[in-house]
Amino acid sequence: MTKRLTILDIARLSGVGKSTVSRVLNQDPNVNPQTRDRVEAVIREHGFEPSKSARAMRTNSARLVGIIVSRLDSASENRAVRGMLEVLYARGYDAMLMESEFDPAKVDEHLALLARRGVDGVILFAFSALDLERLRSWQDNLILMARAWPDMSSVCYDDEGAIQQILEKLYAAGRHQIDFIGVDQSDATTGALRLQAYQQFCTAHQLPCRYLTGSLDVQSGYDLTARLLTPATDAVVCATDTLAMGAAKYLQEQQRHDIQLTGVGNNPLLHFLFPQVLSVDPGYKQAGRLAAEQLLLQLEQQAEPCAQIAPSHDL
């Protein structure tokens, strides 16, 4: 028996998003004429007829958005999710939260399940190992978090701006031996972008550029600080508050009260345990709000995909 084609199948064959096929079926006048012709040609070629349930879905939104996070225990992602939920709940949408554990196969499984559930759209926390080209069929109703990709909507944190703010404050305070503790550069944002911002600042201000990178955990922050620190160090910038917690523990044990330590994330636990540590918020919650607002614009007003950066907050 021949498998019955779905709207998603037609979208893939046409090279467009699922919502575009729905708009063509609904005779939406705002669809590009060339796109309409291409989709209708595929529909005719395959004799596609939408099911009764599909027709019902086109006229009655599921009012459900899928949110796929990388880790449920990530403080930064949780803050972004809170921003998303504020927007979604206020507009009458529910959310379905799922965890990828940085596994591309899990992302595929979650997207397949969300498609079966008939969700209106998806917000996905993208990571470096994820093949974003495979997401093209979701293009019209998907927002990428923390990673940009051509022709797809994305909301990124202000990674470079956050590091720039920290370094400018330290430099103005007369601290010129500033070391950096980062994340492996295989992480394109927290790792590569934040390190690049540090390197560029050091070059521009003719400062020594001393850094080490490792994994994103407290122990790594502790170990890297022990390896990097010199008697001349007067400040340490950590790419995340998680690393800063480990660094703060080491500095506390060594009684290096002369060093100004900073992090990125504005984590309340860091402020509670080590109130002397400065931290900047790279716009986590605001990024979540922007992502939800952009998704609703695409779902309800057929807005074009766009890339945005959430502004960081002052120290």
**CATH number of the domain bearing residue 301:** 3.40.50.2300
Confidence of residue 3 (pLDDT cuts 50, 70, 90): low
Going across the sheet that includes 153-156, the strands are 94-99, 64-69, 121-125, 142-145, 153-156, 307-309
24, 186, 216, 224 from 179: Cα distances, Å: 56, 20, 17, 11
For position 278, what pLDDT does the model report? 95
Give the pLDDT confidence of 237-280 residue by residue, as tens digits. 999 999 999 999 999 999 999 999 999 998 889 999 999 999 99
Give the pLDDT confidence of 98-131 residue by residue, as tens digits. 999 999 999 999 999 999 988 999 999 998 888 8
* Six token digits for residue 282: 């790279």
Domain extent at residue 194:
159-280
My answer on whether 48 and 74 are in the same domain is no
Angle at 77 between CA 75 and CA 80, to 5 degrees: 110
Intra-chain end-to-end CA distance of the chain, in Å: 63
* Six token digits for residue 224: 């890297």
* Six token digits for residue 208: 């020594």
My answer on whether 215 and 255 are in the same domain is yes
My answer on whether 275 and 298 are in the same domain is no
The answer to whether position 226 is within a domain reads yes
The answer to whether position 124 is within a domain reads yes
| CA contacts within 13 A on the Cβ side of 72 | 4
Look at the chain and report how many structural domains it folds into: 3
Give the pLDDT confidence of 158-203 residue by residue, as tens digits. 999 999 999 999 999 999 999 999 999 888 888 999 999 999 999 9
Average pLDDT value over all residues in the chain? 90
Tell me the C-alpha distance between 242 and 308, whole Å.
25
Tell me the C-alpha distance between 280 and 285, whole Å.
13
* Six token digits for residue 186: 């295989």
